[in-house]
């Protein structure tokens, strides 16, 4: 996840939310930021377009 985040210039929380949003059956991922910096990272996910290879790698890592 760290490598994908670095590639896209975002934090890992943004990648995690983008990955969750890309899962079948997920309509809207839910998150709960505790401070403004976390909120900025989480709202950055909609324009983050993970490649099929990145989604596959993240899915394999989550297992």
Is the pLDDT assigned to residue 56 strictly greater than 80? yes
For residue range 12-44, list pLDDT tens digits in order. 989 998 999 899 998 878 888 899 988 888 887
Is the pTM of the predicted complex or chain greater than 0.75?
Answer: yes
Q: State residue 51's pLDDT score.
A: 96
Into how many domains does the chain fold? 1
The residues near 13 (Cβ < 8 Å, ≥ 6 apart) are 31, 38, 41, 42
Q: State residue 44's pLDDT score.
A: 76
Q: Which domain holds residue 58?
A: 2-62
């Amino acid at each position: 996840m760290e490598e994908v985040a670095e590639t896209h210039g975002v934090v890992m929380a943004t990648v995690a939310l983008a990955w969750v949003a890309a899962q079948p059956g997920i309509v809207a991922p839910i998150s709960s930021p505790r401070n403004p910096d976390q909120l900025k990272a989480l709202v950055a996910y909609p324009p983050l377009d993970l490649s099929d290879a990145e989604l596959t790698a993240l899915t394999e890592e989550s297992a």
